[in-house]
Amino acid sequence: MKAPAPTMRGQSVTKKIPNPVDRHVGSRVRMRRLMLGISQTKLGEKLGLTFQQVQKYEKGTNRMGSSRLHQTANILKVPVTFFFEDAPGQLTLDGNTPSPTYVSDFLATKDGLTLTKAFTQIKDATLRRVIVDLVGDIAAMFDVGDVRSV
């Protein structure tokens, strides 16, 4: 899919838009890499690539081939299917579309990963519930809707 881009000296320039599945797979690579504390440079070295190429994969700008995806999964210690969990356009077993991917999109961010790591270290269930309620109350103050019903 291509989108029109600004023209240069009267000539039309088209800009390629990353495929949503490629962006999703890339975000899952990034999330797992950050979970393991591996830099783009270190992952690139293990894959025989530059960190810039890893960046392009993570943004979905470049598509990963099956052998590269398999190699990445081995390095990041996950099954290949991990990268496709909650990918856009997938159908559930009953034929319905899955819920929005906002959760996995959030977890793929640095803030999401940091928050999740910190939250899972809290062992007291009551304290965790208080934190969830607090965050829900803060969200309600900013009129983002009721997040407590999730």
> Which letter does DSSP use for residue 33 in this model?
H
Q: Note whether residue 27 is domain-resident.
A: yes
pLDDT of residue 13: 60
What local confidence, expressed as pLDDT, does residue 7 receive? 54
Residue 99, in any domain of the structure = no
50 and 78 fall within a common domain: yes
Residue 103 lies in a domain: no
Q: Are 119 and 144 members of one domain?
A: yes
Same domain, residue pair 23 and 88:
yes
In single-letter form, the type of residue at position 67 comes to S
Does residue 101 belong to any structural domain of this protein? no
pLDDT in tens, the chain (150 residues): 455 555 556 565 666 788 888 999 999 999 999 889 999 999 999 999 999 999 999 999 999 999 999 999 999 999 999 998 877 776 665 655 555 566 777 777 888 888 888 888 999 989 989 988 888 888 888 876 555 554
In a domain, 72, yes or no: yes
**Which residue segment(s) compose the domain that 119 sits in?**
109-150
Query: Is 25 a domain residue?
Result: yes
What letter represents residue 137's amino acid? Answer: D
Do 29 and 54 fall within a single domain? Answer: yes
**One domain for residues 122 and 81:** no
Supply the CATH number for residue 56's domain.
Answer: 1.10.260.40
In a shared domain, residues 132 and 89: no
Is residue 9 domain-resident? yes
Supply the pLDDT for residue 141. Answer: 83
Are residues 11 and 59 part of one domain? yes
DSSP collapsed to 3 states, 71-138 = HHHHHCCCCHHHHHCCCCCCCCCCCCCCCCCHHHHHHCCHHHHHHHHHHHCCCCHHHHHHHHHHHHHH
Q: What is the pTM of this model?
A: 0.61
- Domain identity same for 140 and 77: no
Q: Structural domain tally of the chain?
A: 2
24 shares a domain with 70: yes
